[in-house]
Amino acid sequence: MLRILGVSRSGYNSFKERESSKDNKPTRKQKIKINPRHLLTIKANIGVPKITKELEKMGITIAEKTALHYMREMKIKARYIKPFTKTTIDPNFDSNLKNLLKEQFNPEKPNAIWCSDITYIYTKEGFAYLTSIMDLFSRKIIAWRLSKTLEAKWVVECVLEAKKLRRTTQPLVLHSDRGSQYVCGNYLEALNTIMPSYSQKASPWQNACIESFHALIKREWLYCFKIKNFSHAYKLVFEYIETFYNTVRSHSHCGYLSPKEYEDYYYAQLRKFLAKVG
């Protein structure tokens, strides 16, 4: 074999006795750690920036280009969705449905601006519909409903749950699209002192954060399964939002903390400030 390969016997014996180089050992360790399953992100197909941040949390420093090289070797890649392209312009903008948000997606405190939307989830027994309400400060999903119909009552229930869980009485804004569920009397009655805000027609980027979340839950989690029925869809949505997205998944907007961690940090700093001035 050595003769056919043109390798000397002494060279082969030297190769067998030689230890792996020090530079190669951390490389193997890094490759193992880069696997999303070892990052506790089994539900997420995360990209290079988040990979490097998660490795830093584990005490491994690595350049993004190196992480990208390893990801390509291991055939790991983030999933992306084709962005929406507006093809028509609606000249008849209803002045009664005002856009109070104006694409200002970064409020300075929780419970200042919420946003909401409805998305379709395909199952083998028909569609299910996910209504979500997000706090734009932390990108946390503060209330959600999965339903078998598009009736406005599910949106109303979602709003009432959000108000109950957040225990807020201060005036705030709830931004949405112009779907019938968000302009009906029952919805406006449920808002009470909350000010409604609306995107322009055919302008989903004006509600980009909640649109992005719905794309995220599908490509990172729901599309990984053949969803059998409504009950199966409910379990998957519950698992993603309550046990992963809100509490575990790092978010670049939150300084690579989870939405819950980001809010906890805000309130901890607020308590320190109040104790200092009080």
254: exposed, middle or buried (Cβ count in 10 Å: 0-12, 13-18, 19+): buried
**To the nearest whole percent, how much of the chain has pLDDT over 90?**
58
Average pLDDT value for residue range 2-26: 72
- Residue 91 has a pLDDT of 41
- Residue 111 has a pLDDT of 95
The 10s digit of each residue's pLDDT in 192-232 is 999 999 998 878 788 999 999 999 999 999 999 999 999 99
The 10s digit of each residue's pLDDT in 243-266 is 999 999 999 999 999 999 999 999
Rg, C-alpha atoms of the chain? 24
The 10s digit of each residue's pLDDT in 51-76 is 777 777 777 777 888 877 777 777 77
Mean predicted lDDT score pLDDT of the chain: 84
Determine the residue type at 30: Q
- Residue 140 has a pLDDT of 97
Q: Is the pLDDT of residue 129 over 50?
A: yes
Residue 148 DSSP class = S
- Residue 24 has a pLDDT of 52
- Residue 196 has a pLDDT of 95
Determine the residue type at 4: I
* C-alpha to C-alpha distance for 76 and 8, rounded to whole angstroms: 39
- Give the residue with greater pLDDT, 17 vs 27: 17
Average pLDDT value for residue range 122-142: 97
The 10s digit of each residue's pLDDT in 159-192 is 999 999 998 867 699 999 999 999 999 999 999 9
- Residue 35 has a pLDDT of 59
Cα distances (Å, whole numbers) of residue 232 to 125, 216, 276: 11, 18, 50
The 10s digit of each residue's pLDDT in 85-113 is 544 434 444 557 899 998 889 999 999 99
Average pLDDT value for residue range 18-43: 55
What predicted TM-score, i.e. pTM, was given to this entire model?
0.71
The 10s digit of each residue's pLDDT in 31-50 is 655 655 444 444 456 677 87
The CATH number fitting domain 113-269, selected from 3.90.550.10, 3.30.70.20, 3.40.50.720, 3.30.420.10: 3.30.420.10
- Residue 270 has a pLDDT of 94
- Provide the b/e sequence for 122-134 (b: ≥16 CB within 10 Å): ebeeeebbbbbbb
- Residue 63 has a pLDDT of 83
Close Cβ partners of 225 (under 8 Å, ≥ 6 residues apart): 232, 236
